[in-house]
Chains A and B, each alone.
Chain A
Amino acid sequence: MSERLHIGTRKGMFEVARHDGAWDIVDAHFLGDPVSAVLAEADGTVWAALDLGHFGAKLWRRNGAGAWREMAVPQYPPKPPDDSDDPHPWSLGQIWALEPGGIAGRLWAGTMPGGLFRSDDGGASWVLNEALWHMPERRQWMGVAGGE
């Protein structure tokens, strides 16, 4: 069982480790910035999604004890002109879920609006899950990431 937690908060990401039965904050990252999702993988890779109010959603990756590196974020396709009854923006608001894909380099990201993206190259590029995005029921989805 892991003795280290990675906790995303509205004021940064904190690493908490257990020593002698007590939990202590041992490191902090992105201080002052909202961290909307965190993923710590078994191989030591850590992902942090930021929700920078003025400057948009960002995704950073760190391999082990290495330096943080900014990665690509999911991008939505242009909204079709004849789709004006879709109440949701076709534009990335924030990343609010990150999950490992089970094979090297694969990562899933859930976003606001309610889209699912997959990366097969370690976060260098993303592909929208079109089948889920084009479900008619998607237009009624609500309540993601604290409201939309």
Chain B
Amino acid sequence: MPTINFTRQLERFLKVPCATVEGATLREALAAVFASHPTLRGYVLDDQGALRRHVAVYINGRPAKDRTQLADPVGPDDEIYVFQALSGG
């Protein structure tokens, strides 16, 4: 089962898990985490279900390609990292 890690920056606002979850896509894996941490969803996804503009997701070190449908496949040994992107100026 894939493992999801969230940036420690989120701990300023709410508890965040490091979770091993069921799921064959990024969307399914995130949904499994949000099922037990519903408030976390609004910090990672916008109200249309897409990744927030300044949130970055990496799967085994590679950025997620589908930021809208979150259809990137994930395997049982994959590691997913959710970060805040470096942005601004």
> Which residues of A come within 8 Å of B, CB atoms?
52-56, 58, 70, 73-76, 78-79, 90-92
Contact = CB atoms under 8 A, between A and B. Distances in A.
Nearest to B44: A55
B48 A91 contact: yes
B74 to A, nearest CB: 23
B69 interface: no
A12 B89 CA distance: 20
Q: What's the dominant secondary structure at chain B's contact region?
A: loop
A55 B84 contact: yes
Contacts, number: 43
A91 B85 contact: no
A56 B48 contact: no
Interface residues of B, number: 18
Contact of A55 (B48, B55, B88): B55
A75 B13 contact: no
Contact of A56 (B9, B14, B42, B87): B42
A56 B52 contact: yes
Given A53-B54, A54-B85, A55-B10, A70 B48 contact: no
Contact of A54 (B39, B47, B48, B52): B52
B43 A55 contact: yes
A54 B42 contact: no
B47 A76 contact: yes
Nearest to A72: B42
Contacts of A55: 10, 13, 42-44, 52, 55, 84
Given A55-B52, A58-B42, A75 B88 contact: no
A76 B44 CA distance: 16
Nearest to A92: B47
B46 interface: yes
Nearest to B10: A55
A55 B12 CA distance: 11
A92 B47 CA distance: 7
B82 to A, nearest CB: 11
Given A54-B9, A55-B44, 9 more contacts: A54-B87, A55-B42, A55-B84, A58-B13, A58-B42, A73-B42, A74-B47, A90-B48, A91-B48
